[in-house]
Amino acid sequence: LDAAYATPYDCPGYRMPTAAEWEYAARAGTTTPTYYNAEFPTLGCQYNWVLAEIAWFCNNSDGVPWPWGWLTPNAWGFTDTSGNVREWTESLYTNQHGEEPLEEELRRVHRGGSFGQTDNQCRSGDRDKDIWFCQNPDDCRNRGLGFRVVRGVPQ
């Protein structure tokens, strides 16, 4: 986020979504605790037919990311919000008590799960953070992590 903007919502151009915006779009109006297409108990890496309809995860991905858009979209047309690659958001990770992160903990929230993760990690409500620090960006490549962009609404 450019320091010229007080909040991500002030940005008139393209940006990463906040964690809350990402989850709202991923759920597409649903309230089920696990996935936007149905409620289903998590089974780890065992076959999960509910998740297999909407996500590439450790059971059906063959250990690689897949081209975008091959599986069933949610009610708002978004695909790959569960599984395939985790997605960076604009939001900084805080602990469950909402305390501000320390400077050395300034890590972005990841959402959505990836092709190598279990079904529990692909839940709409799951969140994680960066778990590494890199001095050289070339050393920080992670094929299980990506992002999508949103665009601010012109005032």
Kindly report, residue by residue over 36-68, the tens digit of the pLDDT: 888 877 788 888 888 899 999 999 999 999 998
Predicted local distance difference test score (pLDDT) of residue 44: 86
Q: Can you tell me whether residue 15 is helix, strand or coil?
A: strand
The predicted model gives 131-136 an average pLDDT of 56
Token readout for 110 is 């990841």
Host H or E run for residue 25 = helix 19-27
Predicted local distance difference test score (pLDDT) of residue 84: 93
Calculated CA dihedral for residues 45, 120, 84, 65, nearest 10 degrees:
-30
Residue 17 has pLDDT above 60, yes or no: yes
Residue 151's DSSP bridge partners are 14
pLDDT, one tens digit per residue, over 67-119 is 989 999 999 999 999 989 999 888 877 665 666 655 555 678 889 889 999 98
SS (H, E, C) 93-120: CCCCCCCCCCHHHCCEEEECCCCCCCHH
How far are the Cα atoms of 22, 64, 119, 138 from residue 125, in angstroms, in the given order?
A: 10, 23, 12, 30
* DSSP-assigned letter for residue 51: H
- Evaluate whether 121 touches 101 at the Cβ level (below 8 Å): no
d(CA 55, CA 64): 12
To 5 degrees, how large is the angle CA 123–CA 126–CA 132? 130
The predicted model gives 123-145 an average pLDDT of 69
Residue 127 has pLDDT above 90, yes or no: no
How far are the Cα atoms of 70, 75, 88, 100, 134 from residue 25, in angstroms, in the given order?
A: 18, 10, 14, 25, 30
pTM summary value: 0.80
Which band of pLDDT confidence, cut at 50, 70 and 90, is reported for residue 10?
A: confident
